[in-house]
């Protein structure tokens, strides 16, 4: 059981739940909870977990190269396990509304295609993962069906997550060689550095635009957005020094801080 719980990568699932809550809060302009919101957050956790499970199923040989202790054999039970998780998340979404159902199906298909087909083309797959992250915000907004502010902020989240995916690819390049084609394999290191800082910069610009357009308000938003920008800059700086693991951790915490900024913008 420990294997089947840990393979879900619960931290990633909790971040997805937080993204759904944030999208709902932005659309609703309130931090109040509801039963439907709880259902949506559970569905997001399950679908995120399903994506992690099916990714590990298709990624088994590469995980062995990276000495991933979770994986020993290509366990076909993982396919069944991920299918149950995907189906449950989609069914729960269908109980919410049609918009939530459509996004749940789209994200599920994207995660399956990413793992089964796009692994060899990881430089494209990065954007699939980034889009899936952004859609958690929009998924939360389906409960209210107000999308104007959320779409801008989802775009910001997508760009920041794309940068983090590229950093992860640089860290995993040894294990990926011969099995995947990633951006750090295709381009010179200096060019990849420019792409990452550009993605971070555009993510922050979109966050600033949300404030300029009046969707986000108050000092909490600006202060937390600045904190996120600081973390993203440090992520890029560490990446430039080829310290890939701390670089991606700074990126992840920067994204969490940005989500907190989005919440702060409605207070």
**Domain architecture of the chain: domains with CATH:** 1-146 (1.10.357.140), 151-267 (1.20.120.1780)
Q: Which residue has the tokens 């999308």?
A: 147
- One digit per residue, the tens of pLDDT, for the chain of length 267 reads 577 788 889 988 999 999 999 999 999 998 888 999 999 999 999 999 999 999 888 876 555 555 554 444 456 788 899 999 999 999 999 999 999 999 999 999 999 999 888 877 888 989 999 999 999 999 999 999 999 999 999 999 999 999 999 999 999 888 777 778 899 999 999 999 999 999 999 999 999 999 999 999 989 999 999 999 999 999 999 999 999 999 999 999 999 999 999 999 988
What is the length of the chain?
A: 267
Torsion angle, alpha carbons of 79, 80, 82, 86, to 10: 130
What's the predicted TM-score (pTM) here? 0.88
How many alpha carbons fall within 13 Å on the CB side of residue 151? 5
């Amino acid at each position: 059981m420990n294997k089947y719980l840990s393979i879900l990568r619960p931290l990633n699932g909790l971040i997805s739940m937080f993204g759904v809550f944030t999208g709902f809060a932005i659309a609703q302009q309130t931090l109040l909870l509801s039963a439907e919101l709880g259902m949506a957050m559970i569905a997001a956790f399950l679908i995120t977990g399903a994506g992690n499970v099916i990714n590990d199923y298709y990624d088994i040989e590469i995980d062995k190269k990276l000495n991933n202790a979770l994986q020993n054999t290509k366990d076909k039970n993982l396919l069944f396990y991920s299918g149950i998780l995907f189906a449950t998340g989609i069914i729960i979404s269908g109980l919410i509304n049609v918009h939530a159902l459509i996004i749940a199906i789209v994200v599920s298909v994207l995660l399956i295609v990413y793992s089964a087909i796009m692994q060899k083309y990881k430089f494209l797959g990065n954007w699939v993962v980034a889009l899936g992250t952004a859609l958690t915000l929009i998924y939360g907004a389906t409960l209210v069906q107000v999308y104007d502010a959320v779409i801008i902020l989802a775009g910001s989240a997508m760009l920041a997550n794309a940068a983090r995916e590229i950093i992860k690819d640089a860290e995993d390049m040894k294990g990926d060689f011969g099995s995947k084609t990633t951006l750090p394999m295709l381009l010179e290191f200096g060019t990849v550095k420019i792409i990452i800082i550009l993605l971070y910069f555009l993510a922050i610009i979109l966050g600033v635009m949300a404030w300029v357009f009046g969707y986000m308000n108050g000092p909490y938003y600006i202060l937390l957005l600045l904190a996120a920008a600081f973390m993203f800059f440090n992520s890029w700086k560490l990446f430039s020094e080829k310290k890939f693991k701390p670089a991606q951790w700074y990126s992840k915490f920067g994204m969490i801080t940005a989500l907190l900024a989005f919440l702060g913008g409605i207070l």
